[in-house]
Amino acid sequence: MIYIEKDKLNTDDFIVLDEDDNPVTGLVLGDFTVKLYNPSKTEITSGISLDEIENGLYRIKFTPDTLGQWELAVYHTTYFPFGKGQNYKCVENLGGISPETEELIKRVLGLSQENYRIFNPKYDRKNNLIYSIIKIYPTAADVDADTNAIAVYQMDASFNMKSNLMDKYQVKKI
């Protein structure tokens, strides 16, 4: 399966060889039977084009307009009557991630203590850390300079005075 993007031109290449494995040149879209199906299993008959790249190598093009599973089959009565096919998964954004997801990833990396800094630590009588401000940054240089913080958090903790075991710990974004 190949992943493709919604509303973006998709291309796929295939080669046409004769019975002696020689490239077949000079074919056009009308020489083939093309079956393209969208996720609803509706056959798409328009918006499909074909170019010969070189020496029997052809490129078929179409633009998917619906998210989901697409299927393509290309037939030639002489060279491949049983067809050549491909399955595609059409997604919203193939090349990158959304800004919201990118921000979440940065925050997760920061909370895993990458480019992470603690400010204003406070301790109880047994030297347990009970309060701090945590900042996460995009680079090590930003950590050192306290610039360009991605997010700021407040940490609060409390400990049982008899056992000295933590009984509360929370970190919240502020």
Summarize pLDDT for 151-169 with one digit per residue, the tens. 999 999 999 999 999 999 9
Asked whether residue 123 falls in the same domain as residue 53, the answer is no
Q: How far apart are CA 110 and CA 119, in angstroms?
A: 15
pLDDT at res. 53: 94
Residue type, 53: I
CA distances, 156 to each of 6, 8, 109, 171 (Å): 46, 49, 21, 7
According to the model, what pLDDT value does residue 145 have?
94
Query: In this structure, are 12 and 70 located in the same domain?
Result: yes
* Burial of residue 70, with CB atoms counted within 10 A of its CB: 0-12 exposed, 13-18 middle, 19 or more buried: buried
**Euclidean distance between CA atoms 73 and 34, whole angstroms:** 6
Domain check: are 24 and 76 in the same one?
yes
pLDDT value, residue 147: 92
Q: Is the pLDDT of residue 48 over 90?
A: yes
Give the domain extent around 114.
99-173
Query: Do 135 and 83 share a domain, yes or no?
Result: no
Look-up: residue for tokens 């997010």? 151
Residue 65 has pLDDT above 70, yes or no: yes
pTM over 0.75: no
Say how many domains are in the chain: 2
What's the mean per-residue pLDDT of the chain? 91
**Are 48 and 80 found together in one domain?**
yes
Q: Quick one: 128 and 86 in the same domain?
A: no
- Say whether both 118 and 80 belong to one domain: no
Amino acid at site 145? A
Identify the domain boundary among 65, 91, 117.
Answer: 91
- Same domain for 21 and 86, yes or no, is yes
Do both 7 and 70 map to the same domain?
yes
> Does the pLDDT at position 139 exceed 90?
no
Residue pair 36/62 in contact (Cβ under 8 Å)? The answer is yes
Clarify whether residues 59 and 6 are in a common domain.
Answer: yes
- What local confidence, expressed as pLDDT, does residue 96 receive? 65
Q: Are residues 114 and 162 in the same domain?
A: yes
Note the pLDDT tens digit of each residue in 68-112: 999 999 999 999 999 999 999 998 875 666 677 777 887 787 667
